[in-house]
């Protein structure tokens, strides 16, 4: 089951420094709320309210909600997931999830950063001397290959092939390039890309939706 393309659906993301919300309308058009910087944990709910109200709708008019479960900002993810759960419960909506790995892969493909015919690795700064890694496969649909994980930097050479195609956080790009010289800076993704046709959001019971925390402890 995926969100119906001809019914209003709300997409939420707060895994990065910028909180985002986007609304897909019944005609397939997508509207995005204005982004706000530096306070994703406080901005998800207001942004959702803005984009829904601007379309002349209420939460009861929605037919699905999608949320980016990360990995990413510890607080931003926690608040976005909690808000998405509450919205799903209160409005009786099916709740779908995607990872920030998948969203960054879509952004990379749209920006021409995904070499044709190759798997793409996404590398995110996990802080605390670690890196988040996921391998994705393209084609008609984008899918994660294997299990995303967090590895310590000293373990990264064993996890990555030197000739791998990689998109990485700008903050860790130079370090990744010492391991895989083809690495490029990840293109930023937009909340509207949660609606990308190449992605397959996963339907999850609201109570079971959790942020994708790949490490035992985090720092903002």
pLDDT in tens, 113-154: 999 999 999 999 998 899 999 999 998 999 999 999 999 999
Is 181 among the domain residues? yes
Residue 218 has what pLDDT? 47
The answer to whether the beta carbons of residues 65 and 33 sit under 8 Å apart is no
Count: domains in the chain: 2
**Based on the domain organization, do 111 and 181 belong to the same domain?**
yes
Percentage of the chain beyond pLDDT 70 is 94
Q: Assess whether pLDDT exceeds 80 at residue 31.
A: yes
Residue 93 has what pLDDT? 96
The answer to whether the beta carbons of residues 194 and 116 sit under 8 Å apart is no
Q: Assess whether pLDDT exceeds 60 at residue 220.
A: no
**Based on the domain organization, do 69 and 118 belong to the same domain?**
no
Is 219 among the domain residues? no
Residue ranges making up the domain that contains 15: 9-99+189-208
Averaged pLDDT, 81-87: 96
Provide the terminal-to-terminal Cα distance of the chain, rounded to the nearest Å.
34
161 vs 38 pLDDT, higher one? 161
Is 213 among the domain residues? no
Q: Quote the CA–CA distance of 190 and 120 in Å, as a whole number.
A: 19
**Based on the domain organization, do 92 and 197 belong to the same domain?**
yes
């Amino acid at each position: 089951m995926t969100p119906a393309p001809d019914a209003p659906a709300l997409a939420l993301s707060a895994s990065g420094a910028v909180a985002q919300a986007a609304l897909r309308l019944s005609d397939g058009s997508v509207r995005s709320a204005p982004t706000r910087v530096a306070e994703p944990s406080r901005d998800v709910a207001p942004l959702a309210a803005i984009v829904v109200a601007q379309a002349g709708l209420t939460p009861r008019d929605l037919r699905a909600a999608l949320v980016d479960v990360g990995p990413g900002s510890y607080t931003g993810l926690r608040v976005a997931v909690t808000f998405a759960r509450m919205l799903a419960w209160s409005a009786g909506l099916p709740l779908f999830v995607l990872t920030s790995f998948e969203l960054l892969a879509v952004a990379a493909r749209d920006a021409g950063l995904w070499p044709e015919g190759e798997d793409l690795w996404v590398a995110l700064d996990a802080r605390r001397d670690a890196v988040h890694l996921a391998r994705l496969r393209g084609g008609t649909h984008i899918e994660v290959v294997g299990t995303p994980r967090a590895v310590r930097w000293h373990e990264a050479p064993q996890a990555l092939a030197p000739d791998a195609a990689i998109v990485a956080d700008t903050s860790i790009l130079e370090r990744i390039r010492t391991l895989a010289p083809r690495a490029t800076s990840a293109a930023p993704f937009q909340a509207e890309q949660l609606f990308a046709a190449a992605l397959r959001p996963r339907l999850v019971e609201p109570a079971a939706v959790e942020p994708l925390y790949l490490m035992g402890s985090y720092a903002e």
